[in-house]
Amino acid sequence: MTLSDYQRRAAETDFVDDDERGLLVALLGLAGEVGELVTEQKKRLRDGEAYGAFEGRVAEELGDLLWYVAGVARRHGLDLGEVAAQNLEKNRARWSERRVPPSPLDEGYEEHERLPAVVEAVLEDVETPDGPAMMAHVDGEQMGATLTDNARDDDGYRFHDVFHLANAAVLGWSPCIRAILGRKRKSDTLADEVEDGGRAAAIEEGVVALVWSHARDRNFYEGVESVDDDLLRTVRAMTAHLEVADRTAADWERTILSGFAVWRQVRAAGGGVVTADRRRGTISYSPLPEAELAA
């Protein structure tokens, strides 16, 4: 029996004609049956194996829950089979682990219009009249501007290029890194304007700032193994019209957590070498060479 079949047959035993009242009955029924299921678990904890009716009672309560779920779905005009399929797809996208990095978003373009396979950025703390700042160099050339925290406190936001590098490495997407490294897709007018243009870069900066604010209240994700679903949903909504919409919530989670893992190391050391490897979908940290530290 499929869930869709069950939903149709369950409706034959639902005698509440008024949809509004029926929906309320179903919702209250769900709450009640969850309580019954919890009670059965309590009895099992209390009585152990002596409670021989446990499995049968759990099956009965689960069946009652399913009946009420079917009623809620029907009154909302939803097919329970489709709901179940969508739920499986959502959880696959949220929790599955990629064994290989996702396909490049700029595949098919000339090399000079693609994100580099590997970016090795040297990030260093420098003193300025405005306070601590960060300079980044790639292949001996300065990458972007010299950045301060733009804050009253020294919070390490000046090192936030790490997050753009994480986006480039794990997601294969970063309008900001494209602009800084001169890798915009000028040969494709639409891609240049929509995917690599100012709005896309502003959205990426907005995503970084949003995630930063969330992480700041959570010890910058140290010891954290998963990111809040609501945050991931918001990030994906912000980027839904861009090519990165192809990336899953799990991809974003890996990007965020790996980016912060490297950022925490860079902040603690006051700099370091950040390697963004798009081929492997990884970002990593190593200390500054001794010669640069001495300088």
Q: Could you list the residue range(s) of the whole structural domain that residue 167 is in?
A: 111-294
One domain for residues 49 and 145: no
One domain for residues 46 and 136: no
Instruction: Report pLDDT for 292.
Output: 52
Percent of the chain at pLDDT > 70 equals: 97
Choice between 252 and 97, residue whose per-residue pLDDT is larger: 252
What is the tally of structural domains in the chain?
Answer: 2
Q: Is 50 exceeded by the pLDDT of residue 129? A: yes
Please provide the DSSP assignment of the chain as one string: --HHHHHHHHHTT-----HHHHHHHHHHHHHHHHHHHHHHHHHHHHHGGG-TTHHHHHHHHHHHHHHHHHHHHHHTT--HHHHHHHHHHHHHHHH---SSPPPPTTTTS-GGGS--SEEEEEEEEEEETTEEEEEEEETTEE-S--EE--SSS--SGGGTHHHHHHIIIIIS--HHHHHHHT---TTSHHIIIIISSHHHHHHHHHHHHHHHHHHHTTGGGTT--S--HHHHHHHHHHTTTSGGGGS-HHHHHHHHHHHHHHHHHHHHHTEEEEEEETTTTEEEEEPPPHHHHH-
Mean pLDDT of 266-276: 97
- Please report whether residue 100 resides in a domain: no
Domain boundary among 65, 95, 125: 95
Instruction: Report pLDDT for 33.
Output: 94
One domain for residues 137 and 84: no
One domain for residues 122 and 204: yes
One domain for residues 65 and 117: no
Instruction: Report pLDDT for 294.
Output: 43
pLDDT for 27-75, tens place per residue?
Answer: 999 999 999 999 999 999 999 999 999 999 999 999 999 999 999 999 9
Instruction: Report pLDDT for 95.
Output: 81
